[in-house]
Amino acid sequence: MAGPVLQMNARERRLVAVLGLVGGIVLLLAIPFGLEAWVRSESADTQELRQALSDVQEARGVVRERQAKRDSITARYARKAPELAGFLETAARAVKVEVTDSTPLPDVPHGKRYVEHGTNVRLKKTGMLALSRFLESIERSGYPVVVSKLDIRKRSGEADSYDVDLGVTSYDRVAPAASAAPAGSGQP
């Protein structure tokens, strides 16, 4: 390379020197700008990863809440609901309310996992305080039992005396049926 440069006249050598200097300056400036562009792209990737990690951390709380809710439902249905007529009679006696009539309703399946049992109960000459304690005892029983119907009628001529028709529903989780042995397996 030194040979062709020496064969050039002074003006051409100055031009090559200036072009070399300009090329060197461009190269020296291009390296920092290139590195800065690379660092910014890496910074953007890092920021995206931080955002993704932040989203995952925030989602953990939601997942924990869902799992806790699922666990509470499973725990609630782990206890099989009692026979409603006896359960309601016991709860009524505890708060000094008289059940005059109890009518069981047919079971209603809800999907493949749950069965609804229902009972209609009639209470006569009940005070409001006793009724509220009775309803509270049903709610706090810990069983999957709800009051599905409530009809309160004031008895005329009597203070704090009501006739109440009450529908109570319980839900049981049905265990999945075991699969039958395959046909032709030779098992009796």
pLDDT in tens, 27-72: 888 888 888 888 888 888 888 888 988 888 888 888 999 999 888 8
Q: Determine the pLDDT at residue 79.
A: 74
Tell me what percent of the residues of the chain surpass a pLDDT of 90: 6
pLDDT band at 171 (very low <50, low <70, confident <90, very high): confident
Mean pLDDT of the chain: 83
- Using the predicted structure, report yes or no on whether residue 184 has a pLDDT greater than 50: no
Structure confidence at residue 67 (pLDDT): 92
pLDDT value at 179 more than 50:
no
How far apart CA 167 and CA 104 sit, in angstroms, is 10
Question: Residue 178 pLDDT > 70, yes or no?
Answer: no
CA-to-CA distance for 187 and 39, rounded, in angstroms?
70
| pLDDT, position 180 | 45
Q: How much is the average pLDDT of 24-29?
A: 87
Alpha carbon 149 to chain centroid distance?
A: 28
Higher-pLDDT residue of 81 and 145 is 145
- DSSP line for 134-174: HHHHHHTTSSSEEEEEEEEEEPTTSTT-EEEEEEEEEEEEP
In this prediction, residue 185 has a pLDDT band, given cuts at 50, 70 and 90, of very low
74-114 pLDDT, tens digit each: 777 777 778 888 888 888 888 888 888 888 888 888 888 88
Integer Cα distance of 32 and 112 in angstroms: 67
- The pLDDT assigned to 3 comes to 66
58-62-68 Cα angle (round to 5) = 140
Instruction: Please say whether the beta carbons of 129 and 92 come within 8 A.
Output: no
Question: Mean pLDDT over residues 4-16, rounded?
Answer: 80
**Structural contact between residues 168 and 81, judged by C-beta atoms closer than 8 angstroms:** no
Residues in Cβ contact with 160 at an 8 Å cutoff, skipping those fewer than 6 apart: 127, 128, 129
Under CATH, which number does the domain 84-173 receive? Answer: 3.30.70.60
Q: Where are the domains of the chain?
A: 1-78, 84-173
pLDDT at 187 over 60: no
